[in-house]
Structure 1
Amino acid sequence: MPNTKTAKRAVRKIERRTEINKARKSRVRTFIRHVNDAVASGDAEAAREALRKAQPEIMRGAQKGVMHKNTAARTISRLSHRVRKLSEA
């Protein structure tokens, strides 16, 4: 438990940031899931559209610190590769 006034204030601040980060992380995962669902269904057009919407959300997550920049880049790369393979087939 926090003992000082400053520590109590820090705990409140951390709780607020945790809620915000949870919401951001959940939003990013939702967009990624939309792309994966579209790829799994085999609909190339829907997959392209979902990827187009997901890319800025994933990068925003990296910018806001809920995921590392390289993790975001790798995720986008893998998703776009799957969408591209779907379009070629």
Structure 2
Amino acid sequence: MSNIKSSKKHAIKSQKLRMINASRKTMIRTLIKKVNSAIFIKDKVLSQQLWVQLQSILDKFSRKGLIHKNKAARYKSKFYFKIKSLPESY
């Protein structure tokens, strides 16, 4: 670490942002796993609810630059077609 005060502040700020971004990426991965498990048990209602939640978070974080917009679109498309192919729940 350098001796310049502003460099020290920047290093601390970067560390905090890194922790926040890691937490957000973990949130995305957790939601993806939840949607996958809902699809696996063929619960269409639950998977649709989780998909809406995931879609919102993916859009927000792709706007902020945390993930690439094409990656977000790929996830949304993949889950949309998986959920659409599920049989209706009664």
Query: Does the aligned pair in 1 maintain the 2:62–2:72 contact within 8 Å?
Result: yes
**After the TM superposition, which segments of 4 or more aligned residues of structure 1 sit over 6 Å from their partners?**
none
Letter in 2 for 1:86: L
Superposition TM-score, scaled by structure 1 size:
0.87
**RMSD between superposed Cα atoms in Å:** 1.5
Q: Aligned partners of 1:2, 1:32: CA distance in 2, in Å?
A: 40
Deviation string, structure 1 residues 41-77 (Cα, Å, up to 9, x no partner): 1111211111122110111121222101111111111
Work out the CA distance in 2 between the residues paired with 1:10 and 1:31: 32
Give the total of aligned pairs.
Answer: 88
Tell me the TM-score normalized by structure 2. 0.86
Structure 1 unaligned segments of length 5 or more: list them.
none
More helix by share: 1
